[in-house]
């Protein structure tokens, strides 16, 4: 019998479904306690409640989501799920193609009728093949260009912990949605911290995997700086989503071969100590004094590091000797933006975010020799980090030196920073090196705003980063209060 989407549902508040992880949802499906239809209805109710507060969504497809959830409910009833995520609600950042809906990328220069919109990005195709329920598209700054989420098209996305503050970016809609209970999983992108920044600001988990682990198509205008990655409630869910997204796709010639699955080793309840015992961990509180970190963040990150030591890791303070590569990053980022907008008319350029227009002009003035010099810096940085990881399994830093600031601006008021890279010195270097890096919540500041700790592994050591992050979760070090918008 096919489930009837109009049938009475388990009340969302009674079931508490929007507070569950993907693992918990699947366990409930398997025990028959509730169905994908119940979970999807609850998520749609939550989206309706929180969207006016946080503005995390560009589009919500309630009708399509309920149809997908109905089909998943029937498959679960028959004991024939398409995969581990069958029936789990997922959101997708509006930079990744999704067949049937326009991908507007936060820009008024993209016309909804400009394409057939009949193709899925690789990550979306893998979700669809696995039976995940695609409930909505999350907000992004225009073309994902900055570390906060506001755009001329969709306005300002706000932080579920304090709606006067930014959610971070550029995957700010995804992180805000997960934090607010509007689906347990989201797929974001990260070109300079765009998964980890909003994960830190919104108190959720974000992973930038090794470049190529999740295939990308179309190729990012920012080249091989940009990765796709999961934003979730914990590391175990991120492993589940990463495994689902890592399927091969011929459209990405730079994709990596399939990696062993990680989700089974990070199942809820798995021993956290087993994940870090004997690991050699370098703790760099300020990248050798280069970064001014607020005292509350420094203290919270130190507590997380001490917890890793208690679990059996060998921890020492050590810096990777990174000369700040921000100018090289700017060259690669700004020239990518210039190339992305090169086809626009003068009238269309006037529609752009003013900050984006500025960096496009900057990038257009940089030469091929400037670009190649930036590539040289990137190569040296990659070798330096490769050498560093011969003696250290993981590097631990704060994710960010500050907590969430006022919404609707690129940089904190009075900071003196010119661009978003001024307050993200811990994130963008590891896009240059293509290493896996994750942000794990590790506390809140005096205003109740989340703090994140960053775990960085050598290239291809995604599973190791996830194991260490999972250890923080099962030990209780990643537990922080829920935002009021998720209540």
Output the CA–CA distances (angstroms, integers) from residue 157 to 65, 173, 408, in the order listed: 23, 6, 8
Catalytic hit among 35, 107, 151, 170: 170
Beta-bridge partners for 441:
452
Catalytic hit among 194, 200, 220, 284: 194
Does 194 qualify as catalytic in the annotation? yes
Instruction: Please report which helix (H) or strand (E) contains residue 437, including its range.
Output: strand 437-444
Output the CA–CA distances (angstroms, integers) from residue 247 to 12, 130, 255, in the order listed: 33, 11, 10
In degrees and rounded to multiples of 5, residue 209 shows phi and psi of -75, 170
Nearest Cα residue to 321 out of 375, 378, 386, 388: 388
Does 226 qualify as catalytic in the annotation? no
Q: In whole angstroms, what separates CA 289 from the centre of its chain?
A: 27
Catalytic hit among 93, 167, 186, 284: 93
d(CA 118, CA 116): 5
3-class DSSP state of 410? coil
Q: In whole angstroms, what separates CA 368 from the centre of its chain?
A: 31
Q: How do beta strands 150-151 and 155-156 pair?
A: antiparallel
3-class DSSP state of 229? strand
Q: Which class for 249: exposed (0-12), middle (13-18), buried (19 or more C-beta within 10 A)? A: middle
Does 93 qualify as catalytic in the annotation? yes
d(CA 484, CA 487): 5
Output the CA–CA distances (angstroms, integers) from residue 41 to 32, 35, 282, in the order listed: 16, 10, 45
Helix axes 235-245, 462-474, angle to 10 degrees: 150
Q: Which residues are catalytic?
A: 93, 170, 194
């Amino acid at each position: 019998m096919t489930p009837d989407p109009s049938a009475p549902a388990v009340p969302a508040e009674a079931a508490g479904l929007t507070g569950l992880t993907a693992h918990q949802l699947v366990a409930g499906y398997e025990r028959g306690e509730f169905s994908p239809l119940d979970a999807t209805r609850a998520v749609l109710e939550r989206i309706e409640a929180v969207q006016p507060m946080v503005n995390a969504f560009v589009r919500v497809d309630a009708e399509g989501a309920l149809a997908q959830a109905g089909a998943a409910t029937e498959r679960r009833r028959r004991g024939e799920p398409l995969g581990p995520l069958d029936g789990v609600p997922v959101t997708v950042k509006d930079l990744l193609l999704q067949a049937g809906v326009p991908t507007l990328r936060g820009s008024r220069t993209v016309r909804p009728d400009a394409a057939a919109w009949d193709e899925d990005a690789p990550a979306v195709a893998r979700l669809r093949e696995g039976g995940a329920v695609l409930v909505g598209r999350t907000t992004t700054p225009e073309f994902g260009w900055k570390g906060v989420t506001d755009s001329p098209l969709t306005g300002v996305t706000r932080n579920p912990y304090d709606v006067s503050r930014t959610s971070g970016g550029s995957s700010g809609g995804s992180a805000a949605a997960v934090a607010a209970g509007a689906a347990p999983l989201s797929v974001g992108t990260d070109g300079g911290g765009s998964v980890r920044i909003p994960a830190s600001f919104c108190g959720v988990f974000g992973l930038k995997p090794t470049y190529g682990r999740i295939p990308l198509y179309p190729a990012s205008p920012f080249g091989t700086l940009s990765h796709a990655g999961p934003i979730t409630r914990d590391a175990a869910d991120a492993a589940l989503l990463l495994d689902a997204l890592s399927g091969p796709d011929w459209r990405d010639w730079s994709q990596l071969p399939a990696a062993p699955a990680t989700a089974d080793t990070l199942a809820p309840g798995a021993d956290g100590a087993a994940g870090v015992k004997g690991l050699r961990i370098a703790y760099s509180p300020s990248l050798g004094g280069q970064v001014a970190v607020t005292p509350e963040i420094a203290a919270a990150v130190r507590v997380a590091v001490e917890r890793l030591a208690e679990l059996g890791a060998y921890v020492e303070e050590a810096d990777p000797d990174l000369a700040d590569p921000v100018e090289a990053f700017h060259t690669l980022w700004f020239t990518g933006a210039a190339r992305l907008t090169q086809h626009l008319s003068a009238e269309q350029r006037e529609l752009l975010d003013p900050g984006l227009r500025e960096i496009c002009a900057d990038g257009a003035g940089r030469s091929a020799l400037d670009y190649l010099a930036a590539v040289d810096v990137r190569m040296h940085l990659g070798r330096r980090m490769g050498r560093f990881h011969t003696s250290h399994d993981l590097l631990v830093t704060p994710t960010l030196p500050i907590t969430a600031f006022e919404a609707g601006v690129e940089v904190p008021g009075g900071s003196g920073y010119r661009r978003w890279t001024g307050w993200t010195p811990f994130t963008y270097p590891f896009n240059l090196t293509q290493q896996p890096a994750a942000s794990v919540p590790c506390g809140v500041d005096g205003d109740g705003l989340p703090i994140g700790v960053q775990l960085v592994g050598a290239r291809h050591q995604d599973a190791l980063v996830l194991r260490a992050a999972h250890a923080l979760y099962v030990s209780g070090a990643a537990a922080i209060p829920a935002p009021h918008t998720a209540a």
